[in-house]
Structure 1
Amino acid sequence: MALLFDSFKEWHQYCEEQKQPLFEPVLTYEIEQKGRNREQIWEGMQKAYQVMKDAVRTGLEEDMISRSGMVNNGAKKVYKAKTVLSPEFQKLVARALAAKEVNSCMGRIVAAPTAGASGILPGILTTIQEIHELPDQTILEGLLVAAGIALIIEQNASLAGAVGGCQAETGSAAAMGSGAVVYCLGGSIEEVFAAVAITIQCMLGLVCDPVAGLVEVPCIVRNASGAAIAYSSAQIALAGVNPVIPVDECVMALGEIGQSMESRYKETALGGLAATLTGQAISKKVLIQDIDILPDEEENRNL
């Protein structure tokens, strides 16, 4: 099969007819696409999840200062700050920041679904696992569910900020995480897809406006807010609240908004926060730093 399913409705119908959990057809798809057996796929998923956990740990324990200077150990500061939220929620936010800061500091991450949104799933999954003492296998199944969600969003809208704005990037990651949480906690298929729908509804219209063209500001804090929205959406869905607009229609709205969004709001660094006075000043400063560094780098290459 070239694609998994064309819609969430098809995915739902297939699982009900075949009496399969949501992750099972995604696992079959992975086996077909990669030419590997089940054990190899599970092993690969375990490795990916370990990289996510390592990114969280690295971001909270090591020095995270980016070349631009815009990233300066924010995750550690949040982790140790006075608690406004519950301790668990504070950890969620800090962990999402941590994994994304590792990306911005050129560390090892899992692009799920993109590098720009790489803090959301690690923050969500490591925290829900800790709170509910879930085994890794449950989390890996949740990751496959998240992958299935991403495949359908990609087909009917987009996962890229350059195509659909940040709603398509951190919004999709948050939807993946919210659906995974509901699955991991034993929610029904209806509740999993309700969480995805609610999350998308909350993220619609978010522009992609990286300062200086770097995936740092406001991208990193949006990973934290995306994780928070994913958790709240999962809670709402597990309570049985009806999102009213079906998940497939929410995805179509995501795509329609992305198509109509002006190009300056889609990763061009020409609008939004990137176009502010401070954003422009940072852009010029970062560019000057790069120019100053280039001769030394060229000399080093010639040694």
Structure 2
Amino acid sequence: MLKYESINELVKEAENRNVRISQLVLEDQAKSMEKSQQDIYEKMAKSFQIMRESVKDGQAKDQKSTSGLTGGEGYLMNEYATTGEGGLSGSFMTKAIARALSVAGCNASMGKIVAAPTAGSCGILPGCLVSLFEDKGYDEKDIVMSMFTAAAFGMVIANRASIAGAAGGCQAECGSAAAMAAAALVELGGGSPKQCADACAIAISSQMGLVCDPVAGLVEIPCIKRNASGLMIAFSSADMVLAGIDAKIPADECLDAMAEVGDSMPRTLKETAKGGLAMTPTGKKLRDKVFG
């Protein structure tokens, strides 16, 4: 059985068996849960379907969060993606950003989402994978299988560092989600298990130290927009690796560093809404607007 205590363990085991990390994890989970691989796969396929539905729900023109502080970001970005050549980033990327914003908006309006790995970072993995499926024509089975790789990396991150903003800051939420997505993207791009690990490392290092400072204590400002940033980091990390650029610091060492940084952060910067953007003059006004 896999222990999910290190990225290196996953890479070496996949290399030894000459399989993708996703296949390794599917086999391991089926065995540990005493279910068939088909049952496990179908459950993951259902999660992908929910991701697609949350994209659609979050792109509604009248979508608003429960607090009223946010809403419509996914709709506006999707409209922008259809103008000209899709803005400065191009049609594919702006649509992907729209999907990430839409899922995060769906979460803020109490819609159904997949926490991947958390609700606060729920738009990053769907934004990446739904975009490859709908805009690039990737096979659904390959997409679903890549989610096993993302999940395995998320389990290692949770065990070795943290996926909770309250424990490690936003680096542990959006940072972890971007790392998971980057690994999945590399596998979909035909990369090796080692390259999946390198993409994870680059994504983690790109968001090292990111604080968790939700305005009014709600997962909306700046959380929703950070999902878009995390998506961009996931794509850029994957593309760098697929271009032949490796991560100089191994993924597990990056996770250990992330854990150390998270432990060093003051409590005010870890989901307490007592620091960062939450304590700006505008941040406090928005808090008062919601809670009086």
Q: TM-score range by the shorter chain?
A: over 0.9
Q: Please give the alpha-carbon distance, in whole angstroms, between the structure 1 residues aligned to 2:282 and 2:94.
A: 29
CA displacement, residues 1-57 of structure 1 (integer Å, 9 cap, x when unaligned): 4x6332111111111222222112311332244332111111111110000000111
* SS at structure 2 position matched to 1:151: helix
Map of 1:231-242 to 2, 5 A cutoff?
A: 231-242=235-246
Which residue, 141, 159, 163 being the options, matches 1:155?
159
1:67–1:131: structure 2 CA closer, same or farther, 3 Å change rule? closer
Q: Which residue of 1 aligns with 2:188?
A: 184
Farther off after superposition, 98-107 or 189-198: 189-198
Aligned to 2:8: 9
TM-score, normalization: structure 1? 0.92
Pick the aligned partner of 1:143 from 137, 144, 147: 147
Partners of 1:61 and 1:73 in 2: CA distance: 7
* Deviation at residue 129 of structure 1 after TM alignment: 2.2
Pairwise CA distance, 1:244 = 0.7
Aligned to 1:58: 57
Aligned equivalent of 1:19: 18
User: What is the CA–CA distance in structure 2 between the aligned matches of 1:34 and 1:215, rounded to whole Å?
Assistant: 33
CA deviations on 1:155-174 (whole Å, 9 max, x unpaired) are 11000000000000000000
The alignment status of 1:226 with 2:225, answered yes or no, reads no
- Secondary structure of the equivalent of 1:47? helix
Contact 2:15 2:193 in 1 (8 A): no
Alignment of 1:268-287 (within 5 A): 268-287=272-291
Matched, 1:175 2:179: yes
Are 1:142 and 1:180, in contact at CA under 8 Å, matched by a contact in 2?
A: yes
Q: Is the 8 A contact 1:4 1:148 kept in 2?
A: no
Q: Considering fraction of residues, name the structure with more helix.
A: 1
Alignment of 1:235-254 (within 5 A): 235-254=239-258
Q: Note if 1:112 corresponds to 2:116.
A: yes
**Same amino acid, percent of matched pairs:** 43
State the alpha-carbon separation in 2 of the partners of residues 167 and 208 from structure 1.
8
- Counterpart residue type for residue 262 of structure 1: P
Could you list the runs of 5+ residues in structure 2 that have no partner in the other structure?
A: none
SS of equivalent residue, structure 2 residue 239? helix
- Distance, in Å, in 1 between the alignment partners of 2:226 and 2:143 is 23
Aligned to 1:127: 131
Distance 1:33 1:94 in 2: 37
Is 35-44 or 247-256 further displaced after alignment? 35-44
Rounded to whole Å, the distance in 2 between the matches of 1:50 and 1:12 is: 28
In 2: Cα distance, 1:165 partner to 1:40 partner:
35
> What is residue 70 of structure 2 aligned with on the other side?
71
User: SS in structure 1 opposite 2:63?
Assistant: coil
Corresponding residue for residue 260 of structure 1: 264
Contact 2:123 2:227 in 1 (8 A): yes
- CA deviations on 1:160-201 (whole Å, 9 max, x unpaired) are 000000000000000000110010111111211111111011
Higher mean alpha-carbon deviation, 33-42 vs 43-52, is at 33-42
Larger Rg: 1
- The whole-number CA distance in structure 2 between the counterparts of 1:165 and 1:56 is 25
**SS of aligned partner of 1:229:** helix
1:238 aligned partner, one-letter code: L
Distance (Å, rounded) in 2 between the aligned partners of 1:10 and 1:44: 25
1:240 partner SS: coil
Equivalent in the alignment of 1:95: 99
Q: Alpha-carbon deviation of 1:59?
A: 1.1
Distance in structure 2 (CA, Å) of the matches to 1:57 and 1:134:
19
What's the RMSD between the two structures over aligned residues?
1.3
Taking the aligned partners of 1:151 and 1:236, their CA distance within structure 2 comes to 24
Superposed, which structure 2 residues align to 1:25-40 within 5 Å? 25-40=24-39
Q: Which residue identity does 1:8 align to in structure 2?
A: I
Q: Give TM-score scaled by structure 2 length.
A: 0.95
